[in-house]
Structure 1
Amino acid sequence: MKESDMWKQTDEEILQQIPEKLLAWYDENARILPWREDPQPYRVWVSEIMLQQTRVEAVKPYFERFLKALPTVADLAEAPEEQILKLWEGLGYYNRARNLQRGAQAVMAEHGGVIPASFELLKKLPGIGDYTAGAIGSIAFQIKVPAVDGNVLRVISRVLWRTDNILDVKVKRRMEGEIRGILPERVGDFNQSLMELGATVCLPNGAPKCDECPLQELCRAHLKGEEESLPVKAKPKKRKIEDRTVFLLVCDGKIALRKRPEKGLLAGLWELPSQEGTLEEPEAEKLLESWEIQMEQPLQKEKNAKHIFSHVEWHMSCWSGTVEAESDDSGLIWASAEELDENFTLPSAFKAYRPVIKRLLESLQE
């Protein structure tokens, strides 16, 4: 299509041409994913929660393991929280897992164990907003509702050459309304095709694969050569930097763990004992004394590490050492290597220290 003809068409006329082209492309190019092979409501729900802010390839093994351990809504509702968090370990954003269980418990209590085939009722479940309710509703129940995520916002912004800030709620609401007006009978496949295009072709970083795109001839941004300048996002706030000192304390072949507060960052999860600030050796020793911890030998300096959360960045220094005896007054618990692997969920913020823990525990067995 000539560029001059493209600008004669209204946004609505362009949008109306998308479903047929995109579904034909999707039928030939859709990735084979475990939740697509059997799109039962529970499977779709679990997959959508896992996929929030997480890559598809990273989710696959977690999804398989989670469904094997907790194959039904009832299983999820009744499972101990520690088991759920352990199954989630490494995916991050642990409130997703907690809300998933709260949602399952609500399904059992309020809907007789049956996930409701209703967009409005789905939205009332913990952890489910417009997008997730739209995804579950359209994919599992073929309800004619849109599912607009970052991929969809990017695709439509480029096709229509929209320069609005896609982080503005009003912009998203407008786009949801426009897509609602073009939803075909195969609504689940269509919503997935939009997301698939954004994930595999109309890429967010670097050059999109326009030569592979079924919407190339409709895309105003492509015709103008401005694909990579869209979509427009307001600059996020600069992340806050927090310095922390982490302690790897070993006693009788076990590593010290501590539970974080029930509110705030990594709420209620197990952590390696840590303290705000970068503590030099005298300060670190004084802190351990206040925890009723007696060291067998001087502390050893370990490598520094960094972990980035969405709004906070931890810069971690680390001390390690062997403790004379477990203290009941320290607020710590002690876990063997096997217990750490099987029973305790250690957030990925401490991933850099896993090899150090392994070395420390193995050195004591020699």
Structure 2
Amino acid sequence: MPADPQKPRAKKHPTQNPRAFQNALVKWFEAEGKEYPWRDTTDPWAILVSEIMLQQTQVATVLGKGHYTRFMALYPTPRAMAEATEQEILKAWEGLGYYRRARNLHAAARAITRDHGGYFPKKYDEVRALPGIGEYTAGAVASFAYNEAQAIVDANVARVFSRVFDFQERIDTSAGSRQLWKWAADLVPGDNPRAYNSALMELGQRQCSNKSPDCSSCPVSQFCQCSDPSTLPIKKSAAKVTRTDEFALFATDSHGRVLLHQVQQGKRREGMWSIPRREHAETLDLALALKTTYSITRYHVTLRIYACDAQNVNVQDQEKWHTLDELEQLPMPSPDRRALESLLD
């Protein structure tokens, strides 16, 4: 009996047709893949730096503002970074946020220098054992640097698999994560996993995006089991945005120095220098110098900064006067840097 022309063709299942799925992805990537500096190298250190930067920062920020290029110029090898101070590292990372990533990368560089003579380890297990390196990052380095058949699952891959397999379970649970990693392991090819994994990640970034997936030109649409990609992936509802207020002092002395506070160990932005925060009651008699806003994780912050002379400020622990030249060398959160630039303009 001839096929009904009105009936849609049955979808191919990726794990039942792995070679066809892999080939479709790689063919698309070879024709459409973006050019990035970390794709022009097999240097595992350069790849590790890019992966750490991209964990919670968009490609446009990492590249468009020159963060990756500047960082690699400063620290082209693990040994170069290992020999730098934490303050230098935080300054170099300024503008990328999530500064724990920089500390983890610094710790990894020191471990490579101490335990591997400065040479990046070539075995997956040794990469995985580096401080701050998780399963995804180790797999990405092994895959992209050494062309090793390692499964990888980041947010982009998780989104692709949840839709391709019509996964009707939450992906942010232990069970959901295990299933995603199983699919990733089942599908990664033994030949040219570098191109396949790059294609899989880029598919999620560009085609199978979170809010506006382009299914019409998707290279693996013939394998996609879901009928409504807008409903996938399933995960816990995002936390509501919390609005909060911060109050700070713009204190200067007769030498033109500015008072700054160094964030204590264990606190968010540890080691960074910021405009000193105060309780609201301590600012009631001061003149407002600047009001600005910024967002961080689930918080939307209104920051009010009040002008204060040196003789009227109670300098607290972890606070120090700095010259304008010194300000340029200190690591500082972006909201504070922008605020100071406005105040000093």
Please say whether Structure 1 and Structure 2 have the same fold, judged by a TM-score greater than 0.5: yes
Matched, 1:43 2:46: yes
Q: SS at the partner of 1:145? A: coil
Q: Hey, what does 1:318 align to over in structure 2?
A: 305
Could you say which residue in structure 1 is the equivalent of 2:246?
Answer: 244
Which of 168, 179, 190 is the equivalent residue of 1:163?
168
Question: Residue 251 of structure 2 aligns to a residue in which SS?
Answer: strand
Distance 2:167 2:8 in 1: 16
Q: Which of 266, 274, 279 is residue 277 of structure 2 equivalent to? A: 274
Give runs of aligned pairs for residues 48-87 of structure 1, distance below 5 A: 48-60=51-63, 61-87=66-92
3-state SS, counterpart of residue 148 of structure 1:
coil
The yes-or-no answer on 1:195 pairing with 2:201 is: yes
Deviations 1:292-344 (A, max 9, x none): xxxxxx73203333333225443322212332499877642222333222x10
Q: 1:356 to 1:321 in 2, by over 3 A?
A: farther
Displacement after TM superposition at 1:164 (Å): 1.5
- Residues 253-274 of structure 1: CA deviation (Å, up to 9, x unaligned): 2221111110121122211100
Q: Which residue does the alignment assign to 1:90?
A: 95
Percent identity over the alignment is 30
SS of 1:316's equivalent in the other structure is strand
SS of 2:261's equivalent? Answer: strand
Q: Deviations over 1:80-110 (max 9, x none)?
A: 1111111100100111111101101111111
Out of 153, 170, 178, the residue aligned to residue 173 of structure 1 is 178
For 2:116, the equivalent position in structure 1 comes to 111
Q: Tell me whether 92-101 or 346-355 shows the greater mean CA deviation.
A: 346-355
Question: Deviations for 1:128-163, whole angstroms, at most 9, x for unmatched residues?
Answer: 101101100110012211111000010111112112
Alignment deviations for residues 25-44 of structure 1 (CA, whole Å, 9 cap, x no partner): 11111111111111210100
Q: Using a 3 Å threshold, how does the CA distance of structure 1 residues 357 and 330 change in structure 2: closer, same or farther?
A: farther
> In structure 2, the residue corresponding to 1:164 is in which secondary structure?
coil
Query: 1:156, 1:165 → 2: CA distance?
Result: 12
In structure 2, give the amino acid aligned to 1:198: G
In structure 2, list runs of 5 or more residues that go unmatched. none
SS in 2 for 1:17: helix
Q: How does 1:93-242 map to 2 (within 5 A)?
A: 93-184=98-189, 185-205=191-211, 207-221=212-226, 224=227, 226-238=228-240, 241-242=243-244
CA distance in 1, matches of 2:267, 2:116: 31
Q: Distance in 2 between matches of 1:328 and 1:5?
A: 72
**Do the aligned partners of residues 11 and 211 (structure 1) sit closer, same or farther apart at CA in structure 2, a change above 3 Å counting?**
closer
Residues of 2 paired with 1:328 and 1:160: CA distance? 59
C-alpha separation between the residues in 1 aligned to 2:221 and 2:315?
66
Deviation at 1:14, TM superposition (A): 5.2
Aligned counterparts of 1:349 and 1:189: Cα–Cα separation in 2: 38
| Structure 1, unpaired ranges of 5+ | 286-297, 360-366
Tell me the secondary structure at the aligned position of residue 304 of structure 1. strand
CA distance in 1, matches of 2:180, 2:313: 58
* Letter in structure 1 aligned against 2:340: R
- 331-340 vs 74-83, which moves further: 331-340
Contact 1:138 1:144 in 2 (8 A): yes
Aligned to 1:289: none
CA RMSD between the two structures: 2.3
Aligned 8 A contact 2:251 2:313 in 1:
no
Residues 80, 239 of structure 1: CA spacing in aligned structure 2 closer, same or farther, 3 A cutoff?
same
C-alpha contact (below 8 Å) 1:337/1:358 kept by paired residues: no
CA drift of 1:350 comes to 2.3
Cα displacement (A) at 1:174: 1.5
Q: Name 2:333's counterpart in structure 1.
A: 347
Instruction: Output the TM-score relative to the length of structure 2.
Output: 0.90
Q: Does 1:12 align with 2:15?
A: yes
Distance between the aligned counterparts of 1:304 and 1:163, measured in 2?
Answer: 45
- Residues of 1 paired with 2:150 and 2:316: CA distance? 55
Contact 2:289 2:343 in 1 (8 A): no
Whole-Å Cα distance in 2 between the matches of residues 351 and 199 of structure 1? 31
Q: Is the 8 A contact 1:255 1:357 kept in 2?
A: no
**TM-score for both structures, normalised by structure 1:** 0.85
- 1:5 is paired with a residue whose SS is coil
Contact 2:14–2:223 at 8 Å: present in 1 too? Answer: no
Q: Aligned partners of 1:4 and 1:174: how far apart in 2?
A: 27
Whole-Å Cα distance in 1 between the matches of residues 341 and 18 of structure 2?
Answer: 52
Letter in 2 for 1:59: V
- Quick one: distance in 2 between partners of 1:336 and 1:151? 44
SS at match of 1:125: coil
